[in-house]
Amino acid sequence: MAATVRQLTTPSGTIVRIPYVHIRLSDSDAATKLIWDCRRWTGFFESALNKDRTLQEPMVRAHMLAALVTGEGEVHVAELPGVGVVGIAVWFGPGHVYLDSDAQRNAGHNQVVKKLPTELQKWWKQFLSEYGTLTDRVLGPGVKLGGYHLQLIGVSPAHQRKGPYNRRPMHGGDYWRKQRGFDAA
């Protein structure tokens, strides 16, 4: 069964980009739950969030809101008729990365991190800095910043390996080169 890909809107209700039919940000609650149900993030977030499971889902939502808050990223959902949202992909485009602005950091990330012990708050700051340095070293300076990159992806466990992501993950790479004239990283 073919999935319909839709793009979420920003918190203000405006459209970030217009390649598809769009759904409201309120549907990001369903998308957050879907990503969390994939449970691919539990190991990392369990350690990084002090084993506080009440902070894990809000951190996943913070990733989506960071992409949407000022249009610096995109959130696409895959839906199946009669089922609803079965997949989600969070992208950041040329010139932006996750948490590179105050607006992004204040869209949920800072609020989650403030609830952690001071030691883990410092760890998050160090981790994000070192991760940025690592991607520049591995990919080359400015490569990640110069193209679209996938921040977060998930498919409902009931629909994994059944088609929503059999093609390129929610319109990366070739799609952007063809449709937008951007070079894909």
Range of the domain at 158: 4-180
Starting at the edge strand found earlier in the chain, the sheet holding 73-80 runs: 22-23, 4-8, 73-80, 84-92, 149-155
In a domain, 131, yes or no: yes
Residue 157: CB partners within 8 Å, gap ≥ 6? 37, 38, 39
pLDDT at 134 over 90: yes
In a domain, 27, yes or no: yes
- Of 66, 81, 64, the closest CA to residue 153 belongs to 64
pLDDT at 138 over 90: yes
Chain mean pLDDT for the chain: 74
CATH no. for residue 80? 3.40.630
**For residues 64 and 163, which has the higher predicted lDDT (pLDDT)?**
64
In a domain, 172, yes or no: yes
Provide the domain count of the chain: 1
Asked whether the CA dihedral 128, 147, 96, 50 is positive or negative, the reply is negative
- pTM score over 0.85: no
Convert the pLDDT of each residue in 9-46 to its tens digit.
Answer: 555 444 333 222 233 444 555 666 666 565 555 677 77
In a domain, 10, yes or no: yes
In a domain, 41, yes or no: yes
In a domain, 164, yes or no: yes
